[in-house]
Amino acid sequence: MPMIDASALKEHYDQEGFVLIESLFETSEIQKLQQACDALIEESRSYRESDERFDLEPDHTETTPRVQRIKVPHQQHQAFADLVRAPKLLEILRILIGEDVRFRNSKLNIKAAKGGTAVDWHQDWAFYPHTNPDLLAVGIMLDDIDQENAPLMIFPQSHQGKTMDHHHREVFCGSVDLLGEKLDPSSATKITGPAGSVSFHHVKALHGSAPNTSDRSRRLLLYEYAAADAWPLIDFEVYGNYGEFEEKMVLGKSTLSPRFEDADARMPLPRPPDPGSIYRIQEFRKTGFESPIAS
Ligand SMILES: O=C(O)CCC(=O)C(=O)O
């Protein structure tokens, strides 16, 4: 594990809304996760449509599987389950969030070589508002990620600003209109590093990523964590039932007293016709499906 200066790390995170730790995981640790990813992609071969396990690219076939996202990987493979409580992550989470921390959910975003899909600019907060914004997403790089293979991009200090509009024609579309917000994408920081590097971004940090036009894949495993006193304002079921909510504590103690602070939320409702994944939700701003449904 690289040497960590806890106060410098926390200061950078509070100031910029993200931190990157290069090579937090060793090659052998990352290989286990890559193998788990490969095993799940093998299983995706028999799938024809996206479902609760996989989001598939339109050109996914049995012979050439192209998975956009492995959903909830911590429930699909032991290697990803073990990672939820990896001591290296918990040490950083304690510095950034505090003594009492709960795991929320996981996803593995895969941008295949030559064509992996973009993720439009958004704040995670717009998808899952809580009673306070002491939440973050951990991004574990399963590939070397550089300027070429669609790195995660984050607007520094955006977490200190307002919650942006993620609606289009009164329907939640999970993305921000950068032009409307007068933001220049070239001022976003590209989060690059060798496989095993790990970023931590604040739930209000504005971020996104481009399509992958390179000839190398870009696999980014994302784990979300919250302060124990940050209670969800919507979609409690993501945590499971109350017993599972309790079991998701990874550090310290839970509490029945939510802390209300900076919760300038707008509910991610009504949802577009196909709210099955961020990719489908974000299509709404681009294609503006007719007849949105409320859910
Ligand atoms: O995979 C990426 O580059 C960004 C992912 C992301 O922001 C998300 O899935 O919420």
Note the pLDDT tens digit of each residue in 9-55: 999 999 999 999 999 999 999 999 999 999 999 999 999 998 999 99
| Total tally of structural domains belonging to the chain | 1
CB 105 within 8 A of CB 124: no
Ligand 1 pocket test, pick from 147, 218, 222, 278 with the greatest ligand atom count within 8 Å of Cβ, gives: 222
Q: Give yes or no for residue 207 CB within 6 A of ligand 1.
A: yes
Nearest Cα neighbor of 247 from 268, 228, 275 is: 228
CA distances (Å), origin 195, targets 31, 88, 144, 221: 9, 15, 4, 11
Q: Domain of 208?
A: 6-286
Q: Is residue 58 part of a domain?
A: yes
Q: Is residue 30 part of a domain?
A: yes
Q: Is residue 15 part of a domain?
A: yes
Q: Is residue 187 part of a domain?
A: yes
pLDDT of residue 83: 98
Ligand 1 pocket test, pick from 55, 106, 109, 145 with the greatest ligand atom count within 8 Å of Cβ, gives: 109
Q: Is residue 1 part of a domain?
A: no
Q: Is residue 295 part of a domain?
A: no
CATH code for the domain of 130: 2.60.120.620
Polymer length in residues for the chain: 295
pTM metric for this prediction:
0.95
Q: Which atom of ligand 1 is nearest to the CA of 209?
A: 3
Nearest Cα neighbor of 288 from 177, 143, 144, 185 is: 177
For the record, the structure tokens of 183 come out as 């933001």
Q: What are phi and psi of 27, to 5 degrees?
A: -55, -45
pLDDT of residue 292: 34
Q: Is 154 exposed, middle or buried (0-12, 13-18, 19+ CB in 10 A)?
A: buried
Residue pointed to by tokens 């926390």: 10
Give me the residues of the chain with pLDDT under 70, please: 287-295
pLDDT of residue 290: 39
Q: Is residue 291 part of a domain?
A: no
Tens-digit pLDDT profile for residues 139-151: 999 999 999 999 9
